[in-house]
């Protein structure tokens, strides 16, 4: 067990190094959510109540893009390049390998939530988190749900070239119905129902609760259950359909 | 410890209804370099990847260092090095980083610098994998397979895409492995490579072994010696199992005629001749190794 953990840590550091080795990709991973935040806040000259909605929305988007989008691309890439197959022929425990690869995405998600929260406070007068525990719990569960869905998604994608098509077909619509950029209070009923069944809205609502309204975790029990449900579905599909090559 | 590093008995592998491997048996002794030869689609990669634990067999018995590769754990992986026909590594990692990273998975790896030098990649340590040429990338594959200091090494077409100099380097690496008493199972399309490196080879076609034995002892079904000379109407080629008798006869006849047999030559068929003859046959009857007095 201890060697599995040591090797996972080693793999994580290696994955971080490889992540920064491609500076343009790394730059966009971090800059895109910030860019959206500034652009939307400026173009629509939002009032404070809208900004209070936008900052958790962008933080939620960052969680999804770091885990669901980037992790999916990464997994398809390492499979297509034959890296997965090579690793499988070495004695590196699979737990260490995937631990390192997944933690890399999770670490990006956490860094981005921190960046967005700090920017939101400094530039857009969004209060400091009202409920730190809620912030941590929602981020962790949200990351777990989208990471496991990302691993499952990667199994359905035939090759790296087609990965953006598959991923964006899910990512973009989910952004628009989940209250990322604006409040979803006035969505048509059917669409609101779909959004409530999907994970992103619950992450954004949870982050809003943690950052702005200060309503405690006890108000987010159904949301947490939905997220844990997606996490379980993702894990099940990921394990059931895992492909090495 | 069992005397054989690898034992394969009546191995079968089907992909759906297509049977790619149709009952092959062979063993590889410890310290031996064993070559699997055969045309495209013969079933070489399928066989090797079953032994490596990448694919599940449909039927038959397989033992690798005493383990069943389908149910083996870390211990087997620590003792085996693998070069697959196609495999990659992180394109943005340098040669040194790649080798160092993989070395960390093994209990007692080789020295990283020494491994890089062994495969002839010294001087490219700081190059990223994606900047390497095809042949250099293949050498990196070899380095990553060897850095764990395995006792058994699988090489699936290790020199495909190499220039002649790089092939010589790879050959010397494989000879070095043999000196170190490692066991090597290698597939190749290059007959000179098999002849040069392998202690024994098996020729496989359509999922069956059609000949096996030391390269020098494999003989075509037809004849073991080829005698040829320039006759009046062009080159005359004769085949025989008894060259002494044949030479005596044709040279006596020539002398009696007062003739010369210009460019007379006697040759043993090369592995290539055997290979081409065997793999060209429509329905190939199994050929057993036949030792030839030298
Ligand atoms: N995953 C697979 N699914 C279906 N058929 C396969 C699969 N892998 C191999 N085959 C088929 O099995 C046969 C043997 O393939 P294999 O890759 O073992 O040949 P090979 O001897 O390694 O050939 P080459 O010299 O071209 O590498 C081929 O007809 C191939 O098309
Ligand atoms: Mg092959």
Confidence of residue A245 (pLDDT cuts 50, 70, 90): confident
User: What residue segments make up the domains of chain B, in order of their start?
Assistant: 1-79+152-157+185-223+270-294, 225-267
Angle between helical axes of A2-21 and B95-103 (0-180°, round to 10): 170
What's the rounded Cα separation, in Å, for the pair B99 and B101? 5
Q: What is the pLDDT at residue B288?
A: 43
Residues contacting A84, CB < 8 A, separation 6+: A78, A244, A245
Q: How far is A141 from chain B (nearest CA, A)?
A: 30
Quote the DSSP letter at residue B217: G
pLDDT (tens digit, 9 = 90+) per residue, A145-198? 999 999 999 999 999 999 999 999 999 989 888 888 877 777 888 888 888 888
Type and span of the H or E element at A25:
helix A23-43
Q: What is the pLDDT at residue B281?
A: 59
What number of other Cβ atoms are within 10 A of residue B218's Cβ? 27
- Which CATH code for domain B1-79+152-157+185-223+270-294? 3.40.50.300
What residues line ligand 1, using a CB cutoff of 6 Å? B 15, 20, 38, 40-46, 85
Residues contacting A119, CB < 8 A, separation 6+: A34, A37, A55
SS3 of residue B19 by DSSP = strand
What's the rounded Cα separation, in Å, for the pair A80 and A74? 10
Tell me how long chain B is.
Answer: 294
For residue A45, the enclosing domain spans 3-241
ipTM over 0.95: no
Q: What are B105's two structure tokens?
A: 């998975």
Q: Give, for all 294 residues of chain B, the pLDDT tens digit.
A: 667 999 999 999 999 999 999 999 999 999 999 999 988 889 999 999 999 999 999 999 999 999 999 888 888 999 999 998 877 889 999 999 999 999 999 999 999 999 999 888 999 999 999 999 888 888 899 999 999 999 999 999 988 877 888 888 889 889 989 998 999 999 998 888 888 899 999 999 899 998 888 887 775 555 578 888 888 788 888 888 888 888 899 889 888 888 888 888 887 767 777 777 777 754 444 444 443 343
What's the rounded Cα separation, in Å, for the pair B41 and B20? 8
- For chain A, the domain total comes to 1
Q: Is it the case that residue A11 has pLDDT exceeding 50?
A: yes
Q: Which residues of A touch B54 (CB under 8 A)?
A: 85, 88-89, 244
What's the rounded Cα separation, in Å, for the pair A239 and A152? 8
Decide: B145 and B81 in contact? Cβ < 8 Å: yes
What's the rounded Cα separation, in Å, for the pair A89 and B77? 7
Cα A9 versus chain centre, distance: 21
Q: What is the pLDDT at residue B290?
A: 43
Q: Which of A15, A86, A243 to mutate to test the interface with B (most CBs of B within 10 A)?
A: A86
The arrangement of strands across the sheet holding B234-240 comes to: B234-240, B225-231, B262-267
Chain A, residues 70-129, CB within 8 A of chain B, namely 81-83, 85-86, 88-93
Decide: A167 and A158 in contact? Cβ < 8 Å: no
For residue A52, the CA-to-ligand 2 centroid distance in Å is: 59
Handedness of CA B71, B75, B77, B80 (dihedral sign): negative
What number of other Cβ atoms are within 10 A of residue B116's Cβ? 24
Q: What is the pLDDT at residue B222?
A: 53
Quote the DSSP letter at residue B230: E
pLDDT (tens digit, 9 = 90+) per residue, A68-100? 999 999 999 999 999 999 999 999 999 999 999
Q: Is it the case that residue A231 has pLDDT exceeding 90?
A: yes
Instruction: For residue A92, report the phi and psi dihedrals to the nearest 5 degrees.
Output: -65, 125
Q: Is it the case that residue A119 has pLDDT exceeding 60?
A: yes
Do B88 and A86 count as a contact with CB atoms less than 8 A apart? yes
Q: What is the pLDDT at residue B15?
A: 93
């Amino acid at each position: 067990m201890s060697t599995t953990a040591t090797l996972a840590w080693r793999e994580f550091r290696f994955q971080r190094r490889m992540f920064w080795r491609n500076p343009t990709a790394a730059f966009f991973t971090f800059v895109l959510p910030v860019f959206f935040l500034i652009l939307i806040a400026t173009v629509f000259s939002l009032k404070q109540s809208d900004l209070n909605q936008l900052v958790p929305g962008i933080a939620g988007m960052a969680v999804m893009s770091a885990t669901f989008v980037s992790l999916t691309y990464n997994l398809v890439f390492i499979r297509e390049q034959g890296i997965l197959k090579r690793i499988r022929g070495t004695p590196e425990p699979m737990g260490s390998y995937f631990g390192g690869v997944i933690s890399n995405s999770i670490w990006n998600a956490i860094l981005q939530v921190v960046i967005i929260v700090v920017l939101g406070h400094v530039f857009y007068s969004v209060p400091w988190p009202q409920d730190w525990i809620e912030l941590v719990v929602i981020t962790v569960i949200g990351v777990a749900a989208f990471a496991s869905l990302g691993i499952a998604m990667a199994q359905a994608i035939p090759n790296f070239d087609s990965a953006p098509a598959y991923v964006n077909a899910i990512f973009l619509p989910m952004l628009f119905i989940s209250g990322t950029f604006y409040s979803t209070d006035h969505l048509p009923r059917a669409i609101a129902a779909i959004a409530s069944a999907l994970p992103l809205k619950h992450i954004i609502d949870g982050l809003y609760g943690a950052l702005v309204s200060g309503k405690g975790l006890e108000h987010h029990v159904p949301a947490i259950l939905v997220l844990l449900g997606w996490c379980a579905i993702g894990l099940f599909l990921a394990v059931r359909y895992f492909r090495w090559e | 410890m069992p005397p054989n590093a690898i034992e394969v008995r009546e191995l079968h592998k089907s992909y759906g209804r297509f049977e790619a491997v149709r009952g092959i048996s062979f063993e590889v002794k410890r310290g031996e370099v064993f070559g699997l030869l055969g045309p495209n689609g013969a079933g070489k990669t399928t066989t090797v990847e079953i032994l490596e634990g990448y694919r599940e067999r449909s039927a038959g018995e397989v033992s690798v260092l005493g383990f069943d590769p389908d149910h083996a754990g870390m211990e087997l992986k620590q003792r085996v090095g693998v070069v697959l026909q196609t495999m990659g590594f992180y394109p943005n990692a340098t040669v040194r980083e790649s080798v160092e990273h993989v070395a960390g998975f093994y209990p007692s790896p080789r020295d990283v610098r020494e491994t890089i030098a062994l495969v002839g990649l010294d001087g490219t340590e700081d190059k990223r994998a994606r900047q390497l040429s095809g042949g250099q990338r293949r050498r990196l594959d070899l380095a990553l397979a060897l850095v764990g200091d395995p006792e058994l090494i699988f090489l699936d077409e290790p020199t495909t895409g190499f220039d002649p100099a790089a092939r010589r380097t790879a050959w010397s690496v494989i000879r070095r492995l043999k000196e170190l008493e490692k066991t090597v199972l290698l597939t190749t399309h290059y007959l000179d490579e098999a002849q040069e490196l392998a202690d024994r080879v098996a020729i496989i076609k359509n999922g069956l072994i059609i000949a096996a034995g030391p390269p020098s002892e494999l003989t075509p079904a037809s004849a073991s010696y080829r005698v040829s000379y320039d006759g009046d109407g062009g080159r005359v080629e004769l085949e025989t199992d008894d060259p002494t008798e044949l030479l005596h006869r044709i040279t006596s006849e020539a002398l009696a005629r007062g003739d010369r047999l210009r460019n007379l030559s006697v040759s043993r068929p090369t592995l290539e001749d055997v290979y081409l003859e065997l793999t060209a046959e429509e329905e190939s009857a199994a050929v057993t190794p036949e030792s030839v007095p030298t």
